[in-house]
Structure 1
Amino acid sequence: MLVEMRTYSFGPGGAADYLKAYNGRPRQLQSEILGRLLGLYQSEVGELNQLVFLWGFDSHDERDRRRRALMADAEFAEFRRGTRHLVLRQENRLLSAA
């Protein structure tokens, strides 16, 4: 299995604002298109104001196909445009079993 870890950094209060906008239809839509949300975490110690998403995929090809479908979705694009100002930094990692 391939795990994609996406870490989003926000200014103070930004993570809460992002979650308010995300929970509901955007989260449902993203989960339907991407598949397995393994976890959504918020940092409490260390670097704060972050959200970490872990998505599971069977292969790189599946990930690429699902990500393309998500980026092509007009409804999700609208959510991204409405929350883009909240995101200060984004880091993506692809993790495989050791």
Structure 2
Amino acid sequence: MILDHRTYTCHPGRIKKHMKLYEEHGWEAQRRHLGEPVVYGAVETGDVNSYVHVWAFESPADRATKRAAMAADPQWQAFLKLSAESGNLMSQVNTILTPAPFFGKPAKA
């Protein structure tokens, strides 16, 4: 399993506009291709102009296949165009995580 952890930072005062745009034009398409995220939330402390989402994939190949299908989806392409035109986003950081060897193992009694 791998986790795709993404942090997006919006220009100050624009996160609500961006989240609304995503909800109306991107959420359905992204979930259709990637499934349900592990986490999708706005940051409440620290950089409050940011939001984070984490998606789980079986493997790097699974991630590549699903993301390629999403990239080819006209609904997703339309969202990306609207997002770029809105100018809400300031930065994006992507991190691929793999579970530590002890993660998911039951605790010893």
TM-score, scaled relative to structure 2: 0.83
Instruction: Find out whether 1:44 has 2:26 as its counterpart.
Output: no
- Contact map agreement 1:36 1:57 (CA 8 A) in 2: no
Runs of 4 or more, structure 1, over 6 Å off, are none
1:96 to 98, 101, 106: 98
Amino acid at match of 1:91: V
Give the secondary-structure state (helix, strand or coil) at the position aligned to 1:67.
helix
Question: Where do residues 24-63 of structure 1 align in structure 2 (5 Å cutoff)?
Answer: 24-63=24-63
Identity %: 29
Secondary structure in structure 2 of the residue aligned to 1:3: strand
**Matched residue, 2:89:** 87
**Aligned partners of 1:4, 1:46: CA distance in 2, in Å?**
21
| 25 and 83 in structure 1: CA distance in 2 versus 1, 3 angstrom threshold | closer
Q: Structure 1 79/33 Cα, relative in aligned 2: closer, same or farther at 3 Å?
A: same
Larger radius of gyration: 2
Greater share of helix residues, 1 or 2? 1
Return the alpha-carbon distance in structure 2 between the equivalents of residues 45 and 73 of structure 1. 34
* Count of aligned pairs between the two proteins: 98
Give how far 1:46 is off.
Answer: 1.2
Partner secondary structure for residue 21 of structure 2: helix
Distance 1:70 1:62 in 2: 12
Gaps of at least 5 residues in structure 2 are: 101-109
Q: Deviations over 1:26-84 (max 9, x none)?
A: 21111010123111111111122001011010110000011111111111111111112
In structure 1, the residue matched to 2:16 is 16
How much is the aligned-residue C-alpha RMSD, in angstroms?
1.2
SS of aligned partner of 2:44: coil
Q: Is the 8 A contact 1:2 1:96 kept in 2?
A: yes
